[in-house]
Amino acid sequence: MTLPPAGAVLAAFDVRVGDLGALADVLRRLSVAVGQVVGRFAGVGRLVEVTVAVGASLFDTRFGLGGHRPRGLVEMPVFPNDVLDPARCHGDLLLQVGAVDAATARSVVDELAGADLVPRWRVEGFRDENAVTEAGRASDRNLFGFREGAGNPDVRDEAEMDRLVWVGNGGGEPVWTAGGTYQVVRVIRFATALWDGESVGRQEAVFGRRKADGVPLSGEAESFDYRADPSGQLIALDAHIRRANPRTPETAGSRILRRGYSYRGGVDAAGRRDEGMLFVCFQQDVERGFATVQRRLAGEALDRYVLPVGGGYFFVLPGMSGSAGDYLGRALIDAAS
C-alpha cells in the first residue's frame, strides 16, 4: 500500500452562493482546480491528494437539496465528553488535502479556495512517524507516544472496503451517493501534561497496547479473543482498544477506517498547549460505524486525557468518471435539477 501523505490540511467552508445553478458552478470550478493542482504536482513527481466532502447544512433550504441528503448525514451530535467550539465545527463543504507536508497542503487549499467559499475553520495535521506495518497497515505515533493504525481494516481487501467503507447501491441511500463514503472529523485536544505525568504501565493500560511497539497487552498475536480475558486481567475492560472494537461477530459491522493526523496549534489563553489529534475516519454508515464506536467509548479510561473540541460529519463526494463534462457532485446536482 502507499503511505498516507505525511501532511494534511482539513478546511471547512460555507458556500457563499444562493441557488442550485450557482452551487453547480462552484463544484465545477473546484473540480477543474483540483484536477489542475493534482496534475501539476504529479508532473514534478509529487503526490497531492484532495477529497471534497459535503456537510449536512448543504442540504438545508438554500439549494433544494433536502430530498437528496445521504441518510446519515446530520449535524455531528454532541457526545458525552465533548466541549465543542462552534468556531471549529461543521460546514457546507470540507476539503482534505494531503501532501508531503502541511505547508504544501496549505498552499493547495489556498489555491482551491475561491471567492465562492467562505472559510469556516481549518486544522493542519502531520504524521511524523508515518510507516507501513508488516500487516500492510498505515501506522503513525500520536502525541501520546502510541502507535496507531494496527486495528484498522485492510485497505487492500476490496470486499472489506465494500462492506465497511464505500457506499454501494441499495441500502436505502440516494442513488447519487454510490462510490462515496461518510467522513467523520474530530478535533481532539490532548491533556499532554497530565498524560506525561503517568507511568508507562498506566498509559499502556489506558490503550491496551504496549507503548514501545504497539503490541496488544494480551500477547504478540494481533488476533485475539476477549472472551479469553473476561475480567480484563490482560486488557482492561475500559481500555481504548477493547471498547473501540470488542471483536465479536455482533460488533464487526461497526468497524471504521481511521486516518488520523496529529496537530499542534500553539497555546491557548491560559498558556496550555493546544495539540492533539485530528481524528478522521471513513465508513459506509456513520451511525453503524463512528457513532456506535463513539458510544461504546463513553466512560473509557482515555476520557480524562482528551477533549473533543471540534469536527463534523461529512459525506465524501464520489470520484469523477473521467468523461467530458463530469465534475465532483454532478450526480447530486443532476438528481436535484
Q: How far apart are the C-alpha atoms of 160 and 135, rounded to whole Å?
A: 15
Q: Which of 82, 124, 140, 148 binds ligand HEM (CB under 6 A)?
A: 148
Question: Does 188 interact with ligand HEM (rule: CB under 6 A)?
Answer: yes
Q: Which of 13, 121, 146, 166 binds ligand HEM (CB under 6 A)?
A: 146
In angstroms, how far is the first alpha carbon of the chain from the final one?
39
Q: How far apart are the C-alpha atoms of 224 and 245, rounded to whole Å?
A: 12
CB of residue 148 vs ligand HEM: minimum separation in angstroms? 4
Binding pattern to ligand HEM, positions 4-43, x when CB under 6 A?
A: ----------------------------------------
User: Residue 134 or 169: which CB sits closer to ligand HEM?
Assistant: 134
User: Residue 96 or 142: which CB sits closer to ligand HEM?
Assistant: 142
How many residues line the site for ligand HEM (CB under 6 A)?
A: 27
CB of residue 251 vs ligand HEM: minimum separation in angstroms? 10
- Give Cα 238 distance to the centre of its chain: 23
Q: Which of 142, 177, 183, 218 binds ligand HEM (CB under 6 A)?
A: 142
Site for ligand HEM in 246-285 (CB under 6 A): 256, 258, 277, 279
What is the identity of the amino acid at 134?
E
Stretch that binds ligand HEM, among 44-52, 141-149, 160-168, 231-239 (CB under 6 A): 141-149
Q: Which of 241, 309, 332, 336 binds ligand HEM (CB under 6 A)?
A: 241
Length of the chain: 337
Question: Does 245 interact with ligand HEM (rule: CB under 6 A)?
Answer: yes
Alpha helices in 101-245 (DSSP H): 102-112, 158-164, 192-196, 200-207, 240-244
Q: How far apart are the C-alpha atoms of 104 and 182, rounded to whole Å?
A: 26
Q: Which of 120, 294, 316, 318 binds ligand HEM (CB under 6 A)?
A: 294
Stretch that binds ligand HEM, among 50-58, 97-105, 114-122, 140-148 (CB under 6 A): 140-148
Q: Which of 240, 283, 330, 331 binds ligand HEM (CB under 6 A)?
A: 240
For residues 241 and 297, the answer to whether their CB atoms sit within 8 Å is: no
Determine phi and psi for 237, rounding to 5 degrees. -65, -25
Q: How far apart are the C-alpha atoms of 57 and 70, rounded to whole Å?
A: 12
- Please return the burial class of 192, using the count of CB atoms within 10 Å of its CB with bins 0-12, 13-18 and 19+: middle
Question: Does 191 interact with ligand HEM (rule: CB under 6 A)?
Answer: no
Binding pattern to ligand HEM, positions 306-325, x when CB under 6 A?
A: x-------------------
Cβ contacts of 216 within 8 Å, gap of 6 or more: 208, 209, 210, 222, 224, 235, 241
Question: Does 293 interact with ligand HEM (rule: CB under 6 A)?
Answer: yes
For residues 126 and 263, the answer to whether their CB atoms sit within 8 Å is: yes
- Can you state the angle between helices 102-112 and 20-43, rounded to 10 degrees? 140
Binding site for ligand HEM (CB under 6 A): 142, 144, 146, 148-152, 186, 188, 207, 209, 214, 240-241, 244-245, 256, 258, 277, 279, 290, 293-294, 297, 302, 306
